[in-house]
Amino acid sequence: MKVLIDGHMIGSNEGGNERYTKNLFFSLIKNKKENISLLVGEPGKSLQGKDVFVRKGADNNVYRLFYLIPRLVRTYGIDIIHSNYIAPFYKNAKLVVTVHDFCFKYFPQYFSLRERLIFNYLLPYSLILSDSIIVPSEFTKKELAKFYPQHIKKINVVYEAAEDVFNLISKNKTKKMITKTFKLNNPFLLALNGKNSKKNINRIIEAYIIVQEKFPELKLVIVGGNFNINKKYMNIKGIIILDNIKDKELNLLYNATSVFIYFSVYEGFGLPILEALKCKALVICSDIEVHREITKNTVIYVDPFNEKDLATKIELLLKDRSYAEKIRTKSFAINKIYSWEKTAKETLKIYEFLDKK
């Protein structure tokens, strides 16, 4: 059985899709029995090896989907293609499509016209062509069944996991490294930002402003750039915006933060929550169905449209250390549930099932 994973986004800072594809591939190739390959473009050429196809123009959707992947299938005898969201339109192999979420259905204003056209017209066609559909949660399975009920028999739930790079560091070492790397000597809150407005960054900032009145030394570190941040917040003292940091540096921030806030209005999974929990961070996340599913009601949940309640919960964790430690210990145990080894094993079962059909 030969499988080709479409990894055209690798190296382009595409966030969750990139992390999923890269980690799935590296976990799958540990199984020496199967022939698993990865297609990347110029941005991903740093990935070397006999299992990696580096092709110019792979990041061009039309070229990749209409010509490049079908040609690779013919040339190398590929049996299964695995894509994120959009599959090749010329089908000459069995197709697996991973659909991470349906945010575009609820918040179309967060997406460009081009993205809306792709999701509304090309995704349904890819689902028709697909032989199997992978989703990262039971919540996303319900969403897919609601919008595309004709494909319910093809849906498989395969949970994702945090990478090995995210791990616990001793308190003394963390303190020294955070001072050296980021010049941070004060306690801080940590939040992630992105190109998509669903990250809800402005409400996090509004909550921080409220908390700052009682904790004036507290900082807010935002990783991911200044996308979608209201201009009126850009010069607020205490806010530190970081962009293009490495995973080892993010791991350090997870270990050092007083509270990690993940306040998305919509997600199909919520991988950064698991990353933070691996580092034993205190986590406050938006009270949405999928977050309760993956964390099993072990963290603090807040209505993503209520910044005042978010501020209250942050203050509670900062003031009541005994309560905070109970939450930390309880939520840290979640890590036993998820691993990329398990993700790869369950994905491989789907490939094998299709190969035998």
Strand order in the sheet with 259-262: 239-242, 219-223, 188-192, 259-262, 283-286, 300-302
pLDDT of residue 34: 82
Return the half-sphere exposure (C-beta side, CA atoms, 13 A cut-off) of residue 305: 2
How much is the pLDDT for 189? Answer: 98
pLDDT of residue 89: 92
Q: Distance between CA atoms of 238 and 218, rounded to whole angstroms?
A: 7
**In the chain, % of residues over pLDDT 90:** 93
The pLDDT tens digits for 50-94 are 899 999 999 999 999 999 999 999 999 999 999 999 999 999 999
Average model confidence (pLDDT) for the chain?
A: 95
Stretch 305-315: mean pLDDT, rounded?
98
Which CATH number does the domain 171-336 belong to among 3.40.50.2000, 1.10.645.10, 1.10.10.10, 3.40.190.10?
3.40.50.2000
Residue spans per domain, the chain:
2-161+339-356, 171-336
Q: Which of 7-21, 187-201, 216-230 has the lowest mean pLDDT?
A: 7-21
280 exposure class (CB count in 10 Å sphere: 0-12, 13-18, 19+): middle
99-124 per-position pLDDT tens digit: 999 999 999 999 999 999 999 999 99
DSSP 94-128: EEEEE----HHHH-GGGS-HHHHHIIIIIHHHHHH
Fold held by 2-161+339-356? Rossmann fold (3.40.50)
| pLDDT recorded at residue 50 | 85
What does the block give as tokens for 144? Answer: 């897919």
Rounded to whole angstroms, what are the CA distances from 312 to 16, 245, 261, 315, 323? 29, 30, 13, 5, 14
